[in-house]
Structure 1
């Protein structure tokens, strides 16, 4: 299993969000702090958990932009995909890694990521 930096952000949001929710609920119920403090902490935790889902949607949209470009331009290189989608090379590279690991994209020729060409699997 490959873990990408994008996945680490999502996992961090989930774990810290759920932890903040748990501590907030404990604080509000046990009365260690003020009720308002516990509720605010619970709300902040819930927002972190919610943003993890939003971040996942962002990754899907970004991966879709890469797939759409490759559908019309098989054999495109990383710089070509970046220029066409307007995405930074690190983001496109991360999407290509994820799509390749999932078996949706094949990398062809080239020893470096920049010299490689990419196409959709059939």
Structure 2
């Protein structure tokens, strides 16, 4: 007896864990505070020759640095997603136009466009008359 596979409904699929915007904003404030507290505790522990406190303080600093790195990575991924969405809605847009539309610096948008073209999500189109001007559209 053969059994047909039934695709799972979107509600049944496991969701990707995401942090809320409020939690992401709180990371901007808590990460430097945690790093500073860890550094001050490490300095104090070193002065007192307390090796357990020093190890704990260094762990706190490393965890804070990890949170900061994760926050920066997530910020870049969110920006790439916005740039890709703009490229999908406005095919043939140049980096300068995308930057103006998103309110971002052109250099930052150019980095996102570079990553997205390297991953094969966007294609670069150049005009024969002005090859310096690059237009981007979603790869098919």
Can you give the 5+ residue segments of structure 1 that lack an aligned partner in the other structure?
Answer: 1-23
What's the CA shift for 1:36? 2.5
Q: Which has the larger radius of gyration?
A: 2
Q: Larger % of helix: which?
A: 1
1:54 aligned partner: 71
1:66 aligned partner: 83
Matches within 5 A, 1:1-122: 33-34=49-50, 35-110=52-127, 111-112=131-132, 115-122=133-140
Using the alignment, how far apart are the partners of 2:94 and 2:78 within structure 1?
20
Using the alignment, how far apart are the partners of 1:67 and 1:49 within structure 2?
27
Using the alignment, how far apart are the partners of 1:94 and 1:85 within structure 2?
14
Using the alignment, how far apart are the partners of 1:51 and 1:120 within structure 2?
31
What's the CA shift for 1:50? 2.0
Runs ≥4 in structure 1, deviation > 3 angstroms? none
Using the alignment, how far apart are the partners of 1:33 and 1:98 within structure 2?
47
Further displaced range: 97-106 or 54-63: 54-63
Q: 1:33 to 1:102 in 2, by over 3 A?
A: farther
